[in-house]
Amino acid sequence: MATIRFLGHAAFDVTLKGLDGGVKRVLFDPWLENPLSPVKPSDYRSAVVDYIVVTHDHGDHMGNAVELAKLTRAKVVGVYEVAENAREQGVEAVGGNVGGPLAVSDLEIVLVPAVHSSSRGVPVGAVVRGTDACIYHAGDTGLFGDMALIGELYQPDVALLPIGGHFTMGVREAAKAVSLIRPKVCVPMHYNTFPLIRADPDEFKRLVESMTRTRVVVLKPGESFEFP
């Protein structure tokens, strides 16, 4: 059974069963200094974390990744240039690119396209699959038609999608993205951290559930849900 905990903005703390049978812990885009975060980096001082997945190097996504990797000895996973930069700061990293599964043994991790910008490399989303769940974190992205291929190829159980607009998809675009990806569950993210990305997650939930079979789970920062 996988557990997905929302840490505000685009940050998530996920546990799922690995391909080797062990429990794996993955942090996504861990900017834990965001105004809504229920935790701070020092809370992870004694934590066991396996991977820290970074979708791109903007500060609100790269966030505290290197600091947390030093605290937990987790591997930073991201596009090659982002991972190399993390490695130069003294942490272990796995640098890949948009394509097939990365060469890690205990989870299937695939970097997929995202339509956005990045100072290093290219922005990506990430598909992470264990034996109990497949999770797609879209990163920062606009809507694009090949999201249908992500749904077709990887069939994610849970999609974590931005809805805040201005820098990413808004509610309408994200709802269309759900119809392309067709996950079992969608969790909205990247909204209401700042006035500029104000959005109504309940409106998103109503729209998605009126046009698809996907269940929308709205999490407040600090809340979690289990799949299945």
Pairing assessment for the beta strands 108-113 and 124-129 based on DSSP bridges? antiparallel
Alpha helices, DSSP H only, in the chain? 59-62, 65-72, 80-88, 147-154, 171-181, 201-211
Whole-prediction pTM: 0.98
User: How crowded is the C-beta side of 219, counted as CA atoms within 13 Å?
Assistant: 28
The mean per-residue pLDDT over the stretch 209-216 comes to 98
Q: What is the CATH number of the domain that holds 24?
A: 3.60.15.10
User: Tell me: the pLDDT tens digits for 56-75?
Assistant: 999 999 999 999 999 999 99
User: Which residues touch 46 (CB under 8 Å, ≥6 apart)?
Assistant: none
Per-residue pLDDT tens over the stretch 82-111: 999 999 999 999 999 999 999 999 999 999
Confidence of residue 133 (pLDDT cuts 50, 70, 90): very high
Q: How many domains does the chain have?
A: 1
Provide the pLDDT confidence category of residue 46 given band limits of 50, 70 and 90. confident
Considering the chain, what is the average pLDDT of its residues?
Answer: 98
Which of 201, 119, 117, 163 shows the shortest CA–CA distance to 10?
163
Tokens at residue 216, please? 């929308």
Q: Where does residue 65 rank: exposed (0-12), middle (13-18), buried (19+ CB within 10 A)?
A: buried
Structural domain including 75 reads 2-227
